[in-house]
Amino acid sequence: MARSEKLEKNLSKVQSYIDGTYEGKIQVGQYAPTDEVRKVGDKWIDADGYQWEQKDGFQVKSGGMPARGMFSHQCKDCQKNCSPKMAKPWDRDCWKADGRCYHCQMNYEIDLKSKPIKWFAYRRLKDLQNMESLEKDMIQWVDELTEQRKKNPFDEKVANALANGEVSMQIKKNTQ
């Protein structure tokens, strides 16, 4: 006896396989043979969109992703791989900010320092980018505060504590 309808359906399907009354196609495993015979040099595109080429005795996937990976973390200058698994922490941090490894970024900034106007423009651009991120953080902080105040505009605990404190206090006049 099956525990649920899903299991009951599965058991009835298996029973129909065994009895020979199942009318659908029965496939065992993942292999689906094709009648297509390819000759050396034939090219085709499979159902997943990959292009293949028939070589002598084997098939080669042509096109597709480059060998370095989908999200390349290569330095602009030295082409060193700055991916999280390969590079040093300081290389990764510099790559996130500037797209260069640490030493290439140092060399780039040293070259810029020899040209004062370009160096000033570069530092000004970095400062503006930092200000934009700070502005976004501040806007997010203000939005969170306004949402919190909408939920509880008057915190009665503080008001009650102040009111109770003032009631118990008495002003003593100096009569001397």
Q: What is the pLDDT of residue 142?
A: 92
Domain locations in the chain as residue ranges: 70-114
Over residues 16-36, the pLDDT tens digits come to: 888 888 877 777 676 666 667
Render pLDDT for 70-99 as a digit per residue (tens, 0 to 9). Answer: 446 677 777 666 666 666 777 777 777 787
Q: What is the pTM of this model?
A: 0.38
Kindly give the parts of the chain with pLDDT less than 50: 1-2, 66-71, 168
CB distance 112 to 122 below 8 Å: yes
